[in-house]
Amino acid sequence: MRAVSAVGIIMFAVAGCTPSTPQNADSAADTPSRATAAALVNSNPTVESAIAFISEAEARLAEEREYGIRAAWVHANFITPDTTWLLARADSQFTELSVRLANETKRFERLDLPDEIERKMNILRTGITLPVPSTPGAADEIAGITAELASSYATGHADLNGETVGLDELEQILDRSRDPQLLAKAWAAWRTIARPMADSYARMIELASAGAKELGFSDLAEMWLSTYGMSAADMEAEVERLWGQVKPLYEELHCHVRAELSDFYGENVQADQGLIRADLLGNMWAQQWSNIYDLVAPAQSTLDLDLTTILQESGYTERKMIETGEAFFTSLGLAPLADSFWEQSLIKQPADRVVECHASAWDIDQVDDLRIKMCTQINAEDFQTVHHELGHSFYSRAYARQDFLFRDGAHDGFHEAIGDFVALSITPEYLQRIGLIEDVPDADADIGLLMQQALDKIAFLPFGLLVDKWRWQVLRGTVGPAQYNDAWWELRRQYQGVEPPVARGSGDFDPGAKFHIPGNTPYLRYFLAFILQFQFHEAACEMAGWEGALHRCSIYGNEAVGKRLNAMLELGASVPWSVALATFTGQRQMDGTAIIKYFEPLMGYLKERNEARQCGW
């Protein structure tokens, strides 16, 4: 949710993406020299020449990467036509190199390669988000489009009641207002910025699809799904299996929230049956609903834990927010971040320039130049976000000594899950230990605390799934530009049970109003991360010897858990994700049952509340 990426170089720069430096000293002695490698690469395909090819590819990618990352960092922090041009140029060059190397792997397809080399070949083939065809000028064109789309989103402004407003102002309305007419206007206003993107987006997909076919994939969707080490069909089935495990809890939450919104707004605004109006859910994209907690909170809950107010009254600054997050990781026995993190990160929105405020973690050189970029607010949401972004940073540092192509998460969901898994330990007991509260609420408050969590975690699950379900249709060509918006809302109705507050048509491009669509960040990673973070949490609490309710467990200060966690993080992408998963959890399959266990008390409450209601949509 909070990691930025785009095509080419940026995918090697930011959270959850492969970083770069030359191979570590231990492996360098086993690889041929650059001159020898080049000669072998140009020879007939043999196992020896395949090894030489990989050595040469990793060296070339490492050499090209840092310039592009720095161009991307400057663009995100100083958005101008010039920095957009520089980013597009760097991106084009890196994409051309990546695609050329991916195509060259075809020479070695029939060889019986060592497992490590075969794994690296597969990473080269599948690790490009937007491959480009070999047509002259295609790389420049696609890089220009991606830079244009990213800038259009970052600088987007809309008209609201005669005033020009940006996303921040519109989000504040969606987050806080209870005026249904204003909510509908603000919701619709932001989506006007996406309409001009549609044609460019379609052209970008056309080019990338041609590139995927040149690499030997049937379509771009198959290429995206192949990164998980199984066939596209098997991965889609795996995703549906995981959704089936957690869907009953979402359906109960949807039923309760819809009924409470109907009671508050009245039947004329929100019916107590059918779909929920998306703009009433306290979030611009209706992906997380915690901002309407006050409307749906359990009446009998004694919860009085307003973390936003607590942080502000405790004098927290932007830096203090991040220092507190880092202290959680170091409490697990992990070393502090380098001084350069504090010197180079952007943690507060500047007053003198336009920046991309979407929070992200950056790995500049994979030695000690790790950074985050976020316009930090002193509130509960950003307290969680800080832990999420730092999870990326500690993960990147842990696998820094892996070979270049293995410097990544076990799969992209792992990278997104680590920080959020740690944040599940932000319990009242933890807040007491760090001095933010004096007294821990008793068990009577648990339903309220779980409701707060569910409005973020459970409400997100279908959205996390459907974004790429829509995109897979687009990438396969089964949904064309004229059907973009209709297909988007068909999936949102089917999986989320929400509907737009105002009429939408084929001229709209509502997917483009979500950062990850113009930003070209695959979104399935977030759905998988929400599954994995609870699976990690359950395993960690078992390691810690926790015997109480899962939602009350905090691993803060447990160095034994930290040691086991770091063992998984250090593997990076050097082993199949199932092996990495087993290293920490003992399980080789992703599993959503830990979510059900964590929210078991809330599930009971929701079923009781919904007994007389007509659930479903």
User: Which sequence positions are flagged as catalytic?
Assistant: 389, 516
Backbone angles phi, psi at 489, to 5 degrees: -75, -25
Q: What is the rounded CA–CA span in Å between residue 95 and residue 141?
A: 11
Q: Are 404 and 58 in contact (CB under 8 A)?
A: yes
Q: Is 241 left (phi over 0), alpha (psi -120 to 50) or beta?
A: alpha
3-state helix, strand, coil in the chain (%, to 5): 60, 5, 35
Question: Burial code of 18-31, b = ≥16 C-beta within 10 A, e = fewer?
Answer: bbbbebeeebeeeb
Residue with tokens 């699950």: 461
Record the tokens describing residue 480, joined without a space: 């064309």
Judge whether 572 and 402 are in contact, CB under 8 Å: yes
Token pair 């648990």: residue = 446
Token digits of residue 268: 């004329």
Contact 211, 99 (CB under 8 A): yes
Label residue 159 exposed, middle or buried (CB < 10 Å: 0-12, 13-18, 19+): exposed
DSSP per residue, 506-523: TT--GGGGSTTTTTT--S
- Closest by Cα among 523, 527, 390 to 457: 527
User: What phi and psi values does residue 166 have, to the nearest 5 degrees?
Assistant: -100, -175
Residue with tokens 């497992």: 115
How far apart CA 122 and CA 406 sit, in angstroms, is 11
The residue behind tokens 């993190």 is 341
Task: Spell out a b/e string for 210-229, using b for 16 or more CB atoms within 10 Å of the CB, else e.
Answer: bbbbbbebebbbbbbbbbbe
Question: CA-to-CA distance for 580 and 572, rounded, in angstroms?
Answer: 8
Is the C-alpha dihedral spanning 152, 158, 164, 166 positive or negative? negative
Separation CA 287–CA 1 (nearest Å): 10
Tell me if 449 sits within 8 A of 549, measured CB to CB.
no
Instruction: Report d(CA 501, CA 503) in Å as an integer.
Output: 7
CA-based nearest residue to 145, from 275, 52, 7: 7
Rounded Cα–Cα distance for residues 412 and 525 (Å) = 5
362, amino acid identity: W
Burial letters for 46-55: b for 16+ Cβ neighbours within 10 Å, e otherwise?
A: eeebbbbbbb
Helices (H), 369-523: 380-398, 412-423, 428-433, 446-476, 484-491
Q: From 335, 359, 332, 360, select the one nearest 425 (Cα to Cα).
A: 332
